[in-house]
Copies of this chain bind each other. A is one copy, B any other.
């Protein structure tokens, strides 16, 4: 945690500083939530001088965007892999939900670990830039698959994407509040809800 802060400033090369800011940003976004975060919070966490921040980013918005970008870059292949790996839409949904639930349970665990017992999470893992990016990927995947051969019904793709992500996100949120979180049970629930929900949807064209 204090690693970055305890490094001498001089030793940090240029790209290390950029990374230090991103790391600090990730940490404080997770800790305080996007709106509560100030540029100062990020800077403080890096141990850099305040002016240095502005050599890399113009605002916390840019940091968030860069983080989301990073996330998208890292997760896009994972999602892609999941889709290729899976036989049919159903197995894709189950795999994606499981991966997501495991990820947020782990994030939550890490978060609670570093905290005094009384303090409860203020920010949900799914609000991190990375997760925003993942949601974007999934949305695109569903929208692309709508009405296609994968088994996704020919209903409104925006509605479908919104509904699927909403279920995963909010069931996941409930799951992470449980001690211990029942990852398998929650994943089974969310997957069933999504798959059955989609299955019964009215088709857009012809019966």
A binding-site residues for B, Cβ under 8 Å: 35-36, 155-156, 158-159, 162-163, 165-167, 169-171, 173-175, 185-186, 188-190, 192-202
How many copies of this chain does the complex contain?
Answer: 4
- Contact call B170/A158, Cβ cutoff below 8 A: no
20 new A-B contacts, CB < 8 A, other than A35-B35, A35-B36, are A156-B189, A159-B174, A159-B175, A159-B193, A162-B170, A163-B166, A163-B190, A163-B193, A166-B166, A166-B169, A166-B170, A166-B171, A167-B167, A192-B202, A193-B198, A193-B201, A194-B197, A195-B200, A196-B197, A197-B200
- A54 → chain B, closest Cβ, in Å? 13
* Bound-state Cα–Cα, A29 to B35, Å: 15
* Bound-state Cα–Cα, A201 to B186, Å: 11
- Contact call A185/B200, Cβ cutoff below 8 A: no
**Residues in B whose Cβ lies below 8 Å from that of A198:** 193
* Bound-state Cα–Cα, A113 to B175, Å: 40
**Residues in B whose Cβ lies below 8 Å from that of A169:** 166
- A30 → chain B, closest Cβ, in Å? 17
